[in-house]
Structure formats: structure tokens, C-alpha cells
């Protein structure tokens, strides 16, 4: 039986990954600061602990795992990473996790280790025009990410590659481009645009208005979590160590994402653009390399994922509303 350690198992992508690995017959240990908010983890062992603490890291990496997935990070959407208010914590917390995990893996050995970097490492100067963002993997340098979150990811990517070069560690470094789906953060300030749009639309009264940050002309692409997991699996099976974009090439403006969500809901709502943290003006995944290296690339339409996500978020909104009403009675 193959063994896997999932760091960040209580989070969005980590939670989905644990389910998939268990369905494939792995023995899985999950570790996170917290248990999963929306689903009981099927992990064989789930350790609630802090990966910034090297003693906890030595405890959870107590053997040579076949596969380690390092997804733990202090992260969130534009409202968390682009305000500047969380910069020190993001850099400190996420860098410590990666430093600790890699050093322990060096001592205990590992089959393969997967690291989730981000599209946020790409230079701002290539993402100023919403219609023509550049995100080919080799465009990362000269580096100029627009956030400290992006700089930490770039540092940590380099750390994984250094452990590969100096200690022969078998690494896989992916750059995720805005992954979304069910059982992800949808409120509280760390939610990303797809979940935020779903929440705002679900909460709005018929005929109401939803607020969208920025001019709404800024572009992104969004990848549904199932295809992200498929890409991770194909990447882990390949001989390529990365860096590799894992994202969708279906670029859309944020106002169009809002319109799509409204259409899915069947409600009659309008959009008001308001000031807010926007990040880069344009971003889309360049999938040339993933096609070349894996002979495959994500291809499912955004609308399909948004329909599933809207249904799930609307359910959460309704549950919360019911709970509030019960307290008020
Ligand atoms: P998430 O926030 O849902 O999951 C990250 C998990 O890490 C959280 O459950 C959190 O509690 C845990 N964590 C944070 N600090 C920890 C610590 N000190 N010790 C133990 N656990 C800790 O985020 P996600 O969307 O599932 O993202 C997973 C990974 O992918 C992250 O590294 C993120 O930076 C990266 N990524 C995600 C996206 C995306 O769009 N979701 C895009 C680019 C990169
Ligand atoms: N979160 C959010 N909430 N974003 C909104 C909202 C809202 O209510 N309204 C408009 N937006 C806009 C943001 O201003 C931004 O321009 C765009 O939607 C996308 O925002 P997010 O989905 O929050 O983040 P991002 O794409 O800029 O960056 C995310 O993806 C990266 C990888 O591609 C973040 O999660 C990063 O941490 C991640 O690395």
C-alpha cells in the first residue's frame, strides 16, 4: 500500500486530495492547524498541529513516505494577500513550513514531494494588460511579483529545486492558477473571486445589487478543483520536476464572472464596481508546457465548475440563514 502525507489536509485542495488518495487505496496521514471545516477527513490519521514547529514536523514525518504533498500555507484571495496587512505573517509562516518540511524530508527520505507554488510568482510587468497577460513558466525572471505572497512562493520554489540539486530529492513544483470549487472558503475574508461571487449572488435579494472590487475589467482564469487534482496526479507520475502551470486557459473578466454567476442563479441582479484590492490587471494560465510535458491540459468549461460551486455556496448561505433565524427565535 502506498503511503502519502498531505500537509494542509484541513484546507480546500488538501481536503479534496485526501479523499482522492484514499479512494485510490493509499494510506494517508493528514496534518493541518485545523480539522476540515466542511467534511469529515477520510485520512487514516489526521494530526492537528503547527508545521511551523520543527518538533511537530519531525513527529509527522516519522518515516519515508512514498509521496508528500506540501499544500500548507498562510493564504487567501485578493482580500487577504493583496491588502499588505498580512505580508509579514504570510512570509514568515509559509517560509517556515517549507524550510521545516524539506529539512525533515532530507533526514527521513521521501519518494516524491509535491509543492504548490502559485501564479502569483509571475512578474507584475507582464500582467498589466488585461487582454494579454504573459505566464509562460520561463517568464518568471527577472522576478517582480506584485505581492509578498508571490515572493515567498518564489523563494520556496527555489528551495525545493535546491534540495533537488544538492540532495537528489525528487520534487514536483506546480504553479496553481486560482483553483475553485465546492468545500472551499466562501466567507470570512480569505475567499477568492469565484466563491465570493457565488456568496454575494446567493445572499442578494431579487432585483438587488452585488459589489465587485475594482473596475471589473481585470481578467483571470479559474480551474475547478477536480481538474487540478487530475493535473497533480499526472504531474506526479511524470519525470518532469517543474515548474509547471496548473490552471485553465479560459480567461474571463471579473465582471463577466459576476454576470455568469447571476445567470446561473436565475436572479435579476445588477453589478456595482467598488474600490477594493485587485492584484494584477490580467492573468491567464499558459498551458503550452503542461501539454508538452504531460500530453494533457485542463479543458473543462468554467461554467460547469461555477454551476456546481454556486449550488454548494447557496446551500451554505441558506444553512447559515436558517441557523441565524433559529437563534433569533
Ligand atoms: P487553504 O487555505 O484552504 O489550505 C491551506 C491549509 O494550510 C489550511 O487548511 C491551513 O490551516 C493550513 N496551514 C496554514 N498554516 C499552517 C501551519 N502552520 N501548520 C499546519 N497547517 C497550516 O488553501 P488551498 O486553496 O487549499 O491552497 C493549497 C495550497 O495551494 C497553498 O499552498 C496555496 O498557497 C496554494 N495555491 C492555491 C491556489 C488556489 O487558488 N486555491 C492558488 C495558488 C496556490
Ligand atoms: N476575493 C474577491 N472577492 N475578489 C474579488 C471580489 C470579491 O468580492 N470582487 C472582485 N474581485 C476581484 C479581485 O479584486 C481580483 O482582481 C480578482 O477578483 C481575483 O481575485 P481572487 O480570486 O481573490 O484572487 P487572485 O486571482 O487575484 O489571486 C488568487 O489566485 C492566486 C493564484 O492564481 C489568490 O488566491 C492568490 O493567493 C493565488 O496565489
Residue 270 and residue 129 share a domain: no
Mind listing the pLDDT tens digit for each residue in 239-266?
Answer: 999 999 999 999 999 999 999 999 999 9
Residue 241 sits in the same domain as residue 255: no
329 in a structural domain: no
- List the beta bridge partners of residue 272: 211
Residue 328's pLDDT band, with cuts at 50, 70 and 90, is confident
Query: Mind listing the pLDDT tens digit for each residue in 268-299?
Result: 999 999 999 999 999 999 999 999 999 999 99
Tell me the C-alpha distance between 187 and 199, whole Å.
8
Distance from the alpha carbon of residue 325 to the mean position of ligand 1, in angstroms: 32
Residues 27 and 39 in one domain: yes
Q: Answer yes or no: do 105 and 241 share one domain.
A: yes
Question: Is ligand 1 within 6 A of the CB of residue 229?
Answer: no
Q: Which residue of 8, 180, 231 sits with most ligand 1 atoms within 8 Å of its CB, as the best mutation to test the pocket?
A: 8
Q: Which residues are catalytic?
A: 149
Residue 254: strand pairing partners? none
Cα–Cα distance measured from residue 112 to residue 98, given in angstroms and rounded to the nearest whole number: 15
Ligand number with the minimum distance to the CA of 149: 2
Average pLDDT value for residue range 113-132: 98
* 112 & 37 share domain: yes
**Nearest protein CA to atom 2 of ligand 2, as residue:** 193
**For the segment 189-214, what is each residue's pLDDT rounded down to a tens digit?**
999 999 999 999 999 999 999 999 99
CATH of the domain at 229: 3.40.50.720
Domain-embedded: residue 185: no
Can you give the CATH number for the domain in which 268 is found? 3.90.25.10
Its domain, for residue 106, covers 3-180+222-246
Query: Which ligand neighbours the alpha carbon of 284 most closely?
Result: 2
Point out which residues pair with 31 in neighbouring strands.
7, 47
The residue nearest atom 4 of ligand 2, judged by CA position, is 193
Q: How many domains does the chain have?
A: 2
How is 24-75 classified by DSSP, letter by letter?
TT-EEEEEESS--SSS----SEEEE--TTSHHHHHHH--S-EEEEEE-----
Q: Are 140 and 255 members of one domain?
A: no
Q: Is residue 186 part of a domain?
A: no
Residues 148 and 213 both lie in one domain:
no
List ligand 2's pocket residues with C-beta within 6 A: 75, 77-79, 81, 118-120, 149, 176-178, 191-193, 196, 212-214, 218, 220, 254, 276-279
pLDDT for residue 275: 98
Does 292 map to a domain? no
ipTM of predicted assembly, 2 dp: 0.99
Q: How far is the CA of 191 from the centre of ligand 2 (A)?
A: 8
Is 50 near ligand 1, meaning CB less than 6 Å away? yes
Task: State if residue 14 touches ligand 1 by the CB under 6 angstroms criterion.
Answer: yes
For ligand 1, is residue 178 a contact (CB within 6 Å)?
yes
Does residue 290 lie within any of the structural domains? no
Amino acid at each position: 500500500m502506498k503511503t502519502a502525507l498531505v500537509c494542509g489536509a484541513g484546507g480546500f485542495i488538501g481536503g479534496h486530495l485526501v479523499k482522492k488518495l484514499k479512494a485510490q487505496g493509499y494510506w494517508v496521514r493528514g496534518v493541518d492547524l485545523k480539522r476540515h471545516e466542511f467534511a469529515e477527513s477520510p485520512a487514516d490519521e489526521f494530526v492537528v498541529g503547527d508545521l511551523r514547529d520543527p518538533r511537530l514536523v519531525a513527529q509527522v514525518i516519522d518515516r519515508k513516505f512514498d509521496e508528500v504533498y506540501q499544500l500548507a500555507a498562510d493564504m487567501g484571495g485578493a482580500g487577504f494577500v493583496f491588502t499588505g496587512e498580512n505580508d509579514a505573517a504570510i512570509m514568515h509562516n509559509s517560509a517556515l513550513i517549507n524550510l521545516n518540511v524539506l529539512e525533515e524530508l532530507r533526514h527521513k527520505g521521501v519518494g516524491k514531494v509535491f509543492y504548490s507554488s502559485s501564479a502569483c510568482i509571475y512578474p507584475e510587468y507582464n500582467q498589466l494588460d488585461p487582454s494579454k497577460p504573459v505566464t509562460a513558466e520561463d517568464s518568471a525572471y527577472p522576478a517582480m511579483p506584485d505581492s509578498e505572497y508571490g515572493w515567498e512562493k518564489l523563494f520556496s520554489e527555489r528551495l525545493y529545486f535546491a534540495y533537488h540539486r544538492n540532495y537528489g530529492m525528487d520534487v514536483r513544483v506546480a504553479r496553481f492558477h486560482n483553483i475553485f470549487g465546492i468545500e472551499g472558503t466562501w466567507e470570512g475574508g480569505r475567499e477568492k473571486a469565484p466563491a465570493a461571487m457565488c456568496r454575494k449572488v446567493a445572499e442578494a435579494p431579487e432585483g438587488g445589487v452585488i459589489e465587485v472590487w475594482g473596475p471589473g475589467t481585470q481578467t483571470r482564469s479559474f480551474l475547478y478543483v477536480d481538474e487540478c487534482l487530475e493535473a497533480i496526479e499526472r504531474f506526479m507520475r511524470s519525470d518532469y520536476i517543474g515548474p509547471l502551470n496548473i490552471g485553465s486557459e479560459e480567461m474571463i473578466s471579473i465582471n463577466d464572472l459576476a454576470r455568469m454567476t447571476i445567470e446561473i442563479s436565475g436572479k435579476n441582479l445588477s453589478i456595482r464596481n467598488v474600490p477594493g484590492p485587485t492584484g494584477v490587471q490580467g492573468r491567464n494560465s499558459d498551458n503550452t508546457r503542461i501539454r508538452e510535458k504531460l500530453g494533457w491540459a485542463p479543458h473543462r468549461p468554467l461554467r460547469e465548475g461555477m454551476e456546481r460551486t454556486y449550488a454548494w455556496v447557496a446551500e451554505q448561505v441558506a444553512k447559515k440563514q436558517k441557523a441565524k433565524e433559529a437563534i433569533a427565535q
